[in-house]
Structure 1
Amino acid sequence: MNEENTQTPSEQQTVGQILKAHREQANVSIETIAKPLKLSELQIQRLENNEFQALGPLTFVKGYIKNYCRELKVDSAPILAMMPAPPEPAKPANMQSFSRRTEKEASDSRLMLVTYVILAIVIGSSALWFWQNATPIEEQTSNINIGNSIMSERQAVQSTNIQQQQSADKALLQNTVTPSENAAGVQATVEQAANKPLTENTDSATDSTIEMSFNDESWVEIYDAEGEKVAFGVKKAGYVMTVTGKPPFSVVLGKHSVVSITLDGEAVDVSTFPKNRLAKFTLPLAE
């Protein structure tokens, strides 16, 4: 039996036929040889029928043949030499092409990312610039509306006081002048009434003068103590404005930092007010 197993297999026989012939010469059944190889009977039959593709990769098939020969005490080298050579690996040309395409896609992705970052920075900077410039204007508009409301209320109160004073003066004049008074008394009363506006006119000596020099465009609004609007509007750069009225004056400036102010010839320091905000103050300044 050993002499038969060591014989060189015929070149005209296939690998499967040689394996089957060795098994039959050893009087070993398919079931018997399948158990130590841990293969099914179907796999043994496919191995002997040269159905190698159904058994898996060529490396596994060679392992089955080597174990098969070991169980039958047959030299496996000549039989394995009859197995076809493994297929050549595919050329890496496609992989190189895929690699170049992947590299190009990665480069494009980095370029797009840098573009998005730059775009986000530009949009953020524009939004910040708009917010910084728009906020003071909104505050100025709001403060201007508040100032107008305060001035309107002040004018209404002053108008009411004037009307009440006129009514009181009229009632006093009616009560003091009666038909029983003589001509001298009537004349004295008339002189007193005539002298009253003269006394008020003498107060004009207490008027004050404000002079403003505008180094840049700025909005201004000024009311005197009687609620009269003595200045209002936007003044251009280089404009010098002089107004006169009864102090104290209510002043609102859009850009106080670009305006030089004097009251009755004396400089007024408004540098303490916050920059980029509406300035509301009273002249003369409270100490």
Structure 2
Amino acid sequence: MSEQTESTMSQPHGVGSRLKARREQMGLAIEQVAAQLKLAKKQIEAIESDHYSSLPGNTFARGFVRNYAKLLGMDAAPLLADLEGLLPTERAQVALPSVREEVGVSLGSTLPRVSSSSRLPAVVAGVIGFGLVFGGVWWYLQQPVSPQLDTPPVEVVAPVDPVAEVASPVSSTASATASQVAVAVVPTPAAAAATVTPTVTPAATPTPATSGELRLVARGETWVQIFDADGRRVISEVIPAGGERFVSGRAPYRLKIGNAPQTRLYLRGKEVDLAPYTQVNVAAFELK
């Protein structure tokens, strides 16, 4: 026996078995197919088992098979041709009764005679109802089938950069340093070596303070914002590398220090460890 003959014999011959084999090849479950075709699970199982007598009718069976084939990307024509030999024999539709000139029922002298004109509206209503049902079936069978399976959208949440949250106060507070409590700048040799031209004003320069309850030493450029217990901002500025600041106020203090790894903080001469309060190089904490 040739390989072509064996391959032909191994292929399923029934309409339903071919649809089922294709569905399993695509890795689709019966529930997924039923959801896409808007059918019940038992109707899909009836189609795959070639039990078309359990479906609403032959017209529905043809439409179900056609849409099933489209969903699986199969040619529906050969399936529909084979389907004709599997459909059950339907009872011939009873013809509508003919309307005579005068149709009446005589049940004695007490009942009036019923004329054809009184039955005509019922016949017309029956014809209209049949047309609506047939039109609904035709509309359903013409609906396109989408083979894409519904998948829930994936929601993406952007990460929060804590540096971006705290960087905004730098530009807004740089101009407010002139109105704050006196902050002494004690230049170090590294800062003195920098070529910075200070702005000279005619007014007399006050003697800078060289002591305070808090002392800040910047090994690298950093920015500092400190509020005391009264809510007064005692400092808010960018300290250059090598700079030093002394500030005083009423404890407790609320501090935010950028570039905390390159900043040293002293409270009454004792160094404060900033590492436990630092996240992404920014330290935010309260100091008593």
Q: Same fold (TM over 0.5)?
A: no
Report the structure number with the largest CA radius of gyration: 1
**Larger helix percent:** 1
Q: What TM-score do you get using the length of structure 1 for normalisation? A: 0.28
